[in-house]
Amino acid sequence: MEEPLLAWAIRILGAAVVLSTLLPLVRRDAWWIRGFEFPRVQLLCAALLVAGAVPVVAQSRGEMWLLLGAIGGSALLQAARILPFTPLWPRRDSELVPRGGRSFGLLVSNVLMTNRDAESFLALVDRLEPDLLLVIEADDEWRQAIESLAARYPHRIEQPQDDTYGMLFYSRFPIVAGEVRFLVEESVPSIHCTVAVPGSGEVRFHGLHPRPPVPHEATETTERDAELLLVAQLARAESGPVIVAGDLNDVAWSYTTGLFRRISGLLDPRIGRGLLATFPAERWWLRFPLDHVFHSVELELVELKVAPAFGSDHLPIFARLQVDDGAGPRRQEPEPVGDDLELVREKIANGVESAE
């Protein structure tokens, strides 16, 4: 007797889930491999759906246990990757009540260059009142459209571009030193500066937007990974408070982002709090945490949240931080393990060579 179409559909979906789970274990930079690191939440949901259907469609006890073992193993692996980014995981730091005037807010927003609803974005800035503002995918039209912010943010570093890699950094506080650098690719800028925060001293800031691993942009993650790891090395070498923020075009739980944390020594405030997914804004069921704020142990988190949509394909992320006064116990920063340092040197060399 011919088996129902549903049974074969469940088997095919189960095989796809298992393959999608195993592929990222291959340490290759191809976009179609690294891309499966992104939808771990969606793959976990698919695995649970298939597991629930297996007892119904399995033709024998042996087949049932084989399928459940493969699907269950996939679900466990996906859950293990996601778990640190849920409230079930211990936090590396806790939200604090800000001490009078010493906290500062940072808003990171990929505005989507083709989105021309600057008024909605300006209304969002009015509502959140950040002290530091990183605007990603800004061309000259966006720069002009938000020129009204100049009165509130007199200190600026601007690199508008019409190729979706433009960046603007606005600050209420003096920028002691700042520059735009092209670390790996000559058309992909990053912003690096030191901000003098009143009552807290100098805070080092790095704003990034590396090229995404999608076929029409880059067939491999090589250049993206190299840029992230170069900045990780910079952050590790710097003393005092450090922030790295931006649309990193990588998810919080990826292998590269984990390597970035260990090399940089920076904390990911998402850990123990939630996914705080930011892309794509219009499809909640497919969102990934692509936009990030990492900070050094010299900074304490007051608040972290995803801000409302305003017309972009990314949701903004807002963080409020304050400089640690040293009264509490010193938090431990992430450290390299195993062959991390050797791997970083290799990945940076490959990325620089590939970009030439």
Structure confidence at residue 32 (pLDDT): 94
Q: How many CB atoms lie within 10 A of CB 285?
A: 8
* Neighbouring residues of 126: CB distance < 8 A, sequence distance ≥ 6: none
CA 260 to CA 294: how far, in whole Å?
10
User: Structure tokens of 63?
Assistant: 């087949």
Q: What is the pLDDT along the chain (356 residues), one digit of tens a residue?
A: 345 787 888 889 999 999 999 999 998 999 999 999 999 999 999 999 999 988 888 778 888 899 899 999 999 999 999 999 999 999 877 666 665 557 999 999 999 999 999 999 999 999 999 999 999 999 999 999 999 999 999 999 999 999 999 999 999 999 999 999 999 999 999 999 999 999 889 999 999 999 999 988 999 999 999 999 999 999 999 999 999 999 999 999 999 999 999 999 999 999 999 999 999 999 999 999 999 999 999 999 999 999 999 999 999 999 999 988 766 667 789 999 999 999 999 999 999 999 98
Indicate the residue type of 281: A
Strand partners for 306: 317
CA 138 to CA 116: how far, in whole Å?
11
Cα radius of gyration (the chain):
22
Counting every residue, how long is the chain?
A: 356
User: Structure tokens of 274?
Assistant: 């939630």
Structure confidence at residue 95 (pLDDT): 67
How far is residue 257 from each of residues 89, 165, 202, 310, measured CA to CA in Å? 18, 20, 26, 27
* Neighbouring residues of 296: CB distance < 8 A, sequence distance ≥ 6: 235, 240, 241, 242, 243, 265, 266, 267, 333
Do the beta carbons of residue 251 and residue 38 sit within 8 Å? yes
pTM value is 0.94
Strand partners for 207: 191, 245
Strand partners for 242: 204
Q: 340-355 and 255-264 are packed helices; what angle lies between their axes, rounded to 10 degrees?
A: 110
Do the beta carbons of residue 146 and residue 166 sit within 8 Å? no
CA 184 to CA 228: how far, in whole Å?
10
List phi, psi (to 5°) of 322: -145, 155
List the one residue out of 117, 163, 158, 162 whose CA is nearest residue 134: 158
CA 105 to CA 133: how far, in whole Å?
9
How far is residue 124 from each of residues 148, 173, 276, measured CA to CA in Å? 14, 20, 18
CA 172 to CA 9: how far, in whole Å?
57
Q: 61-82 and 5-22 are packed helices; what angle lies between their axes, rounded to 10 degrees?
A: 40
CA 23 to chain centroid, in Å, comes to 21
